[in-house]
Amino acid sequence: MNYLITIIGPTAIGKTSLSIALAQHFGCDILSCDSRQFFKEMKIGTAVPSDEELASATHHFIQNKSIFENYTVGDFEKEAIVKLDELFLKNNIQIMVGGSGLYVDAVLKGFDSFPEIDSQVRDEVRLNYEEKGIEYLQNQLKQLDTEYFNFITETNPQTLQNPQRMMRFVEVCIGTGKPYSSFLNKEKNKRNFTPIIIGLEAERSIMYERINQRVNIMINEGLLAEAEKLFPNKDLNALQTVGYRELFDYFEEKTSLDFAIEEIKKNTRRFSKRQLTWFKRTENTVWFDYLTDRKEIINHINQHFKS
């Protein structure tokens, strides 16, 4: 039997160090499912593992794409499953780690199945967006699928600003006459592994302090120069993320540098709350305090192999 040890939790909680310790113990590889760390142009602002950490275990899906590529969660799912099939031939234990809940779910469960949508409906939805803007799509989704609108408002509000995702939600509602959420959580793709899901957490004050410290480290390591280099491409989808948007406002002289840095900290703290909200609904997760002794976590994992 194959096992995929999956480490989840909010940003800056210590997932990377735990994944490396477990990879060294079990002699296996690490798959990253952090959607921001895919892009090679975004190193400091996405807290990519250090060169020393990357050398401590074999990592996959870190800085393997360019911000100029259109890379979706569906693309990642396909590539990750192919990579896992390859890795399981060498070792029936592998590790996946990351803070992007949608990407974790894609690998663990696969995607829901949606019917084909008539091209006329898709064209009409796109035209409405182009003429009336993202707020029109938001209001449409709120009317057509209040349950799903409220869910993403609470768990991942950035999605409400993503035109592609919003157009997709609305076109499914209109094209099928059913709420988008009615197609979710149906029978998923079968996987050739058993997930062992480990969550890391800490008291909120500790979590926030770790985030503040991480942002300070990023600034000291050269985040400002990295963001400045990316600034000409600020409208790319990959760059619509915390740590870069705030500095882009500074470059446009909308804010001061000190204010931008405080905004990065504040928005990252908000992001961590949304991550926890998402991950807390992940079934069969065993949560550990971030300071838990590695041996205790390894013992927990070993119990799965015996059962």
Taking the alpha carbons of 184, 187, 193, 195 in that order, is the dihedral positive or negative?
positive
Give the residue numbers of the binding site for substrate. 11-16
| Whole-angstrom distance, CA of residue 214 vs CA of residue 153 | 26
Looking at the DSSP assignment, which residues form a beta bridge with residue 59?
30
**What element of type H or E holds 306?**
helix 294-306
Enumerate the β-bridge partners of residue 285: 197
Determine the Cα–Cα distance for residues 19 and 31; give it in Å rounded to an integer.
10
Binding-site residue numbers for ATP are 9-16
State the DSSP string of 45-111. TTTPPPHHHHHHS-EESSS-B-TTS---HHHHHHHHHHHHHHHHTT-SEEEEE-S-HHHHHHHHH-P
Looking up tokens 């979706």, which residue turns up?
72
Burial (CB count within 10 angstroms: exposed 0-12, middle 13-18, buried 19+), residue 131: exposed
